[in-house]
Amino acid sequence: MIWLIGCKGMLGSEIAKQMTEKKIPWIGTDKEVDITDINALIAYTDTIETASYFPSEIKRSERKINWIINCSAYTNVEKAEEDTELAHKLNAEGPLNIARVARKISAKLVHISTDYVFNGHGSSPYTEDLPKDPLGVYGKTKAEGEDAIQKEMNTYYIIRTAWLYGFDGKNFVYTMTKAMNSHDSVKVVNDQKGTPTCAVDLAETILKLIEKNNKAKTFFGKNSAPSYGVYQYTNAGETNWYEFTKEIYRLGKKYGRITQDCTVNPCTTAEYGAKVERPAYSVLSKDKIIKAMKLKIPTWQQSLEKFIKNTRFEPK
């Protein structure tokens, strides 16, 4: 059985939906089981395996938690600069607590991290092994969370992603769709490069990774599961926020999500006057995960079109 932590967040709710559709036995918690309190996590695992009430679709023999997926985090990049203590608790101490509990119950862990662990001063895709050098509190605390897991346990997959959008949660695609439906023009930065990533694709990849690990076999002492460690997953290709917005506008118009004309204007980060320094170049290399899982990753444009076309598309 999989324990999904942060099941009500944007990525968490997509993983939850897919697990239910695929009939994968799972349980989910969010804020009510606080990841900053190790005793709360332990108490939850104790009750879960002995609970009298259980979703009927989960058989008694499946009640052992053998995987934890951690999607909980402090994700507000700007607020983190002032809310340092809570960001540290959630992004650094939380993953450490989860890793300790995973070890205690002999569960494997999938933890989600971010492109913000890099400074973004590069100009070619960042590979997993490059040194981390985060710019702000969010990136620093997420980097500490990665380190804590790596020190605490061996059976983990840390998956870094970037520019995430999904159906259930506040995200750039929804924000811009709403803005372009209520303004004649919008101004968007064109000097930060990265890759938009649809939560649907990332969720599918995480579940495939777990399945591959579960089905792995050992031949001549070599295990066929992707080796544990750090991986990176985003959609394929690269763009900047301005070009991304133009594509949201084009597709929004095509599928009737944007019903008025709006001009998308480029500007620089300096002109925009952002409060927090963000990585200027945060394209992540996907070569490692492509090779380990024999993946074919859709381009960001293909996934964006599917997302905007989908009936679940409801900007909140």
Ligand X SMILES: NC(=O)c1ccc[n+]([C@@H]2O[C@H](COP(=O)([O-])OP(=O)(O)OC[C@H]3O[C@@H](n4cnc5c(N)ncnc54)[C@H](OP(=O)(O)O)[C@@H]3O)[C@@H](O)[C@H]2O)c1
| Closer CB to ligand X, 201 or 262, in the complex | 201
Told to check if 301 binds ligand X by CB under 6 A, we report no
- For the bound state, the minimum distance from the C-beta of residue 12 to ligand X, rounded and expressed in Å, comes to 6
Q: Does 93 bind ligand X (CB under 6 A)?
A: no
Q: Minimal CA–CA distance to 192: which of 142, 230, 243?
A: 243
Which residues within the stretch 110-129 sit at the binding site for ligand X (CB under 6 A)? 112, 114
Q: Whole-number minimum distance, CB 163 to ligand X, in Å?
A: 6
Q: Does 83 bind ligand X (CB under 6 A)?
A: no
Residue 75 in the binding site for ligand X (CB under 6 A): yes
Candidates 2, 11, 173, 179; binder of ligand X (CB under 6 A) is: 11
Q: Which is nearer to ligand X, 172 or 228 (CB)?
A: 172
Where b means 16+ CB within 10 Å and e means fewer, 101-115 reads bbeebebbbbbbbbb
To the nearest whole angstrom, how small is the minimum distance from the Cβ of residue 5 to ligand X? 6
138 carries an active-site annotation: yes
Question: Of 33-41, 184-192, 259-267, 304-312, which part binds ligand X (CB under 6 A)?
Answer: 33-41
Cα-flanking dihedrals φ and ψ of residue 185, to 5°?
Answer: -145, 155
CB closer to ligand X out of 75 and 301 = 75
Residue labelled with tokens 């811009």 = 176
CB of 10 to ligand X, least distance (A): 3
Q: Does 73 bind ligand X (CB under 6 A)?
A: yes
Spatial CB neighbours of 208, under 8 Å, sequence gap ≥ 6: 293, 295
Q: Answer whether 6's CB lies under 8 Å from 12's CB.
A: yes
Which position has the token pair 């001549």? Answer: 220
Within 158-197, the residues that bind ligand X by CB under 6 A are 161-164, 169
* Rounded Cα–Cα distance for residues 238 and 236 (Å): 7
Residue nearest to ligand X (CB): 9
Residue 176 vs 262, nearer CB to ligand X:
176
Q: Give the binding range for ligand X (CB under 6 A) out of 16-24, 30-38, 44-52, 59-67.
A: 30-38
Nearer to ligand X (CB atom), residue 118 or residue 242: 118
* Closest CB 85 distance from ligand X, rounded Å: 13
Phi/psi at 267 (nearest 5 deg)? -150, 170
Query: Is the distance from CB of 126 to CB of 111 less than 8 angstroms?
Result: no
In the 8-state DSSP scheme, what is residue 285? P
Q: For the chain, how far is it from start to end, CA to CA, in angstroms?
A: 32
CB of 230 to ligand X, least distance (A): 13
User: Residue 7's Cα: distance from chain center in Å?
Assistant: 12
Task: For tokens 């606080």, name the residue.
Answer: 34
Closer of 112 and 135 to ligand X (Cβ): 112
- Set 116, 138, 242, 249: catalytic member: 138
Number of residues lying near ligand X (CB under 6 A): 24
The half-sphere exposure of 193 on its side-chain side, counting CA atoms within 13 A, is: 13
C-alpha dist (Å) from residue 71 to 4, 91, 158, 236: 7, 10, 11, 22
What DSSP character marks residue 190? Answer: S
Catalytic residue list = 138
Q: Which residues are near ligand X by CB under 6 A? A: 6, 8-12, 30-31, 34-36, 71-73, 75, 90, 112, 114, 142, 161-164, 169
